[in-house]
Amino acid sequence: MRRLLLLLLLLLPLVGAAAAPKATPTGKLITRVWSASDGQGAVRLLWFIPPEKWGHGWRVEDDSGHVLARRIVPASGFEPGGSAIMLGLKAMSDWDYAQSAGLAIELKDLPPRRAGFVLRRLDARGEPDGAWLKTTPIDIASAAPPPRPPKDLRAEATAEGVKLYWRPNPGLMPLLAYTVERDDGRAGIRLTRQPLALGNDWSAVGAAFSDTQAPTETEVVYQVRGIDLLGRESAAATARVFVPDFTALNSPLGLQARAMKTPVELQWRANASRNTLGYLVERAFQTAGPWEVLTPTGLAATGFTDREARPGSTLFYRLRAIGPRGDFGEPGLPLPVNVRGEPPAAPEGLTAEVGNSRVRLAWQAASGAAAYHVERRAGESRAWSRLTTAPTPETRYDDIYGGSPGGRFEYRVYAVAPDEQTGEPSSPLSVALPDTVPPQPPHITATSGENGRVRLAFRAALPEADTVSVLVLRGANAEDPGLVIGEPVPVVIGEFLDTWVDAGKTYVYRLVAVDAAGNRGDPGAAVQVRVGAPPLGVPGKPEARYLAEPFPHVKLTFAAPPRGLAVLVEAGEAEHWHPAAGPVVGGEAVDLAPRRETPRYRLRYRSANGAVGEASAEVVVDIP
């Protein structure tokens, strides 16, 4: 949404934009209009108007008053839907949509001359209601420059698809939408059925478009064209890229083995890619290697028999895929294989000592064991996870789990023989965990220093059930950690009142959450509150000028307000004053609807909390 707001703001100063519409009894129209000629007697017009200002259609005239289109209304059954910002982006990036919305028209067979165009809003009778838009004059006999193609187009083939990157290349008008085409040498295809609306700026880090259906193992050409506000396409920017089949090098899945006193038999699943030409089988005596290749010429089959495996040893096997150009993929996870050995007995006597951040497990030594593995599962989970990367020779193990919101762990231990063959696991041991996770800091949602006291409104951080009460810390400045004041405040109250303060002083407050287990969280963000408010001061006398062009208005200039204050402009007639402009924080303001009588103007300062100060000296403006 932020990008869309920025888009509409950046479009305001475009060449060819209409002057601000004339004020009417029905209110001002906030809009812009664009125009361009093709040099052959055809002119396209597009304007953006919030739906609440559409009226009952528009009449198009040239600047001599000749009617070119008597009534333009939305197409039958058209519903704008969504916000005005979304409607504007859709209309400015899709010419057909803009015409359906009654926001665009193409005029044809116009005489070759320099002319401007006027759009008059219509009432329910089809007659102008006084609101109008006027374009900057253009030369109908001269074609407007076409949109520029996107800049710096490049294509990058990745495992997720072909990613296209480019940058906008605005000319007289910004390019808000684009079309993308792909040609693989056999057929061309447009990848964007509707214009791709990107706005007038986007992050250069991410791709502007991703093609996830690009043909693999071939070279493809991409063409990207920009579309301006009037639906005109730019010339194509072109990028060429070879798209390899990344899946051809995926590590084969489903590696399995049968360890016997006779050779080790390996099986695996074939890769889904038809571009995988074969597989390499590698073996090592340790997970870190070194690895030796058992099939240097590759295998087309999905099985292999290792006849050199020695009984009583532990071996590790892994696979690599061979790609269409003879390249090798990354190896899969090593598969350990115990060639022989009697399994050790299951450990017994498993006990646990529970602390705030660790569980200490202990068990009796098992017959035939050289080391042990420890497994854990949490809560209602049925899956066990291994805690020991390598088997431990000790008969105890510390599980450092850190903080916990409570719950339960289950543990079991199984023995590992000298030949790394494992036995049956021990009986599971269930352990209750204490709640040691502190709650998140509460959020201060509102503050007030009025009436010589400080009021803080707050709410608990999510999840709210973690917080039952709140401690209030008060300090003298941002570096002061502060002290706890008052009693803990139940979180359901949501408010704290500090009456032990002095007017004119600034205090710093932080909040600390406390949960049902008594855990205290970290202090939240510091918030400064000043008790009372200083006088706002009186602005200097402004300067004012009446300007008739491009529409009647009064421009006021004055010294910029102090930091934290804004300026209100009031206009007066006789003894009555009414708001005319503001609040503004700069040094200028405009009264868009000055009264015909000689008006007076004065200024007031307004603070961030809404307080208004005394009025400045008056300035009088003569309106002819």
| Bridge partners of residue 328, in order along the sequence | 322
pLDDT at 450: 84
Q: Which residue is it, tokens 């009414």?
A: 578
The answer to whether residues 263 and 306 touch, using CB atoms and an 8 Å cutoff, is: yes
**Is residue 2 exposed (0-12), middle (13-18) or buried (19+ Cβ within 10 Å)?**
exposed
Q: What is the mean pLDDT of the chain?
A: 86
User: Mean pLDDT across the stretch 108-135?
Assistant: 93
Q: What is residue 205's three-state secondary structure?
A: coil
The answer to whether residues 416 and 343 touch, using CB atoms and an 8 Å cutoff, is: no
Q: Say which amino acid occupies 604.
A: R
- Tell me the residue ranges of DSSP E strands in 262-370: 264-267, 278-284, 292-293, 303-306, 314-322, 335-338, 351-354, 358-362
**Predicted structure pTM score:** 0.47
Are the folds of 2-139 and 351-432 the same? yes
User: Mean pLDDT across the stretch 451-469?
Assistant: 88
Q: Under CATH, to which class is 2-139 assigned?
A: mainly beta
User: Mean pLDDT across the stretch 435-462?
Assistant: 90
pLDDT at 609: 66
> CA gyration radius for the chain?
38
CATH 2.60.40.10 for domain 151-244, yes or no, is yes
Decide which of 377 and 92 is more confident: 377
Query: 557 is written with which tokens?
Result: 């200039």
DSSP codes, 473-494? EEESSTT---EEEEEEEETTT-
The domain segmentation of the chain, as residue ranges, is 2-139, 151-244, 248-338, 351-432, 443-530, 543-620
The DSSP element (H or E) to which 554 belongs, if any, is strand 553-557
By percentage, how much of the chain surpasses pLDDT 90?
52
What CATH fold (topology level) applies to the domain 248-338? Immunoglobulin-like (2.60.40)
Within 13 A of 587's CA, how many CA atoms are on the CB side?
A: 7
**Is residue 20 exposed (0-12), middle (13-18) or buried (19+ Cβ within 10 Å)?**
middle
pLDDT at 15: 29
User: CB 117: neighbour CB atoms within 10 A?
Assistant: 24
- Which among 345, 381, 343, 264 is positioned nearest to 311, based on CA atoms? 264
The answer to whether residues 473 and 441 touch, using CB atoms and an 8 Å cutoff, is: no
pLDDT at 19: 33
Q: How confident is the model at residue 374 (pLDDT cuts 50, 70, 90)?
A: very high
Least confident segment among 23-32, 276-285, 404-413, 591-600: 23-32
Is residue 7's pLDDT more than 70?
Answer: no
End-to-end CA distance of the chain: 44
Query: 267 is written with which tokens?
Result: 């099986």
The answer to whether residues 346 and 424 touch, using CB atoms and an 8 Å cutoff, is: yes
CA distance 330 to 252: 10
pLDDT at 11: 40
Each residue's pLDDT tens digit, 280-290: 999 999 998 89
Each residue's pLDDT tens digit, 550-593: 888 889 999 999 876 899 999 987 778 889 888 998 899 998 88
User: Mean pLDDT across the stretch 42-52?
Assistant: 88
The answer to whether residues 340 and 447 touch, using CB atoms and an 8 Å cutoff, is: no
The architecture that CATH gives domain 443-530 is Sandwich (2.60)
- Which among 475, 485, 470 is positioned nearest to 438, based on CA atoms? 470
Query: 13 is written with which tokens?
Result: 């100063």
pLDDT at 46: 92
Peptide bond preceding 252 in cis form (omega within 30 of 0): no
Which positions ≥6 away from 385 have C-beta within 8 Å?
375, 376, 377
pLDDT at 176: 84
Is residue 22's pLDDT more than 60?
Answer: no
Q: How far is CA 33 from the centre of its chain?
A: 31
pLDDT at 356: 84
Is residue 278's pLDDT more than 90?
Answer: yes
CATH 2.60.40.10 for domain 543-620, yes or no, is yes
- Tell me the residue ranges of DSSP E strands in 367-439: 371-378, 385-386, 396-400, 408-416, 429-432
User: Mean pLDDT across the stretch 3-28?
Assistant: 36
pLDDT at 79: 82
CA distance 587 to 590: 11
Peptide bond preceding 583 in cis form (omega within 30 of 0): yes
The answer to whether residues 339 and 311 touch, using CB atoms and an 8 Å cutoff, is: yes
What CATH fold (topology level) applies to the domain 351-432? Immunoglobulin-like (2.60.40)
pLDDT at 6: 38
Each residue's pLDDT tens digit, 430-446: 999 888 888 999 999 99
Decide which of 391 and 10 is more confident: 391
Q: How confident is the model at residue 259 (pLDDT cuts 50, 70, 90)?
A: low
- Which among 603, 618, 620 is positioned nearest to 538, based on CA atoms? 603
The DSSP element (H or E) to which 98 belongs, if any, is helix 95-100
User: Mean pLDDT across the stretch 602-608?
Assistant: 85
User: Mean pLDDT across the stretch 381-391?
Assistant: 91
Each residue's pLDDT tens digit, 484-543: 999 999 999 999 999 888 767 899 999 999 998 888 999 999 999 998 766 778 999 999
Within 13 A of 433's CA, how many CA atoms are on the CB side?
A: 24
- Which among 544, 453, 440 is positioned nearest to 497, based on CA atoms? 453
CA distance 470 to 496: 10
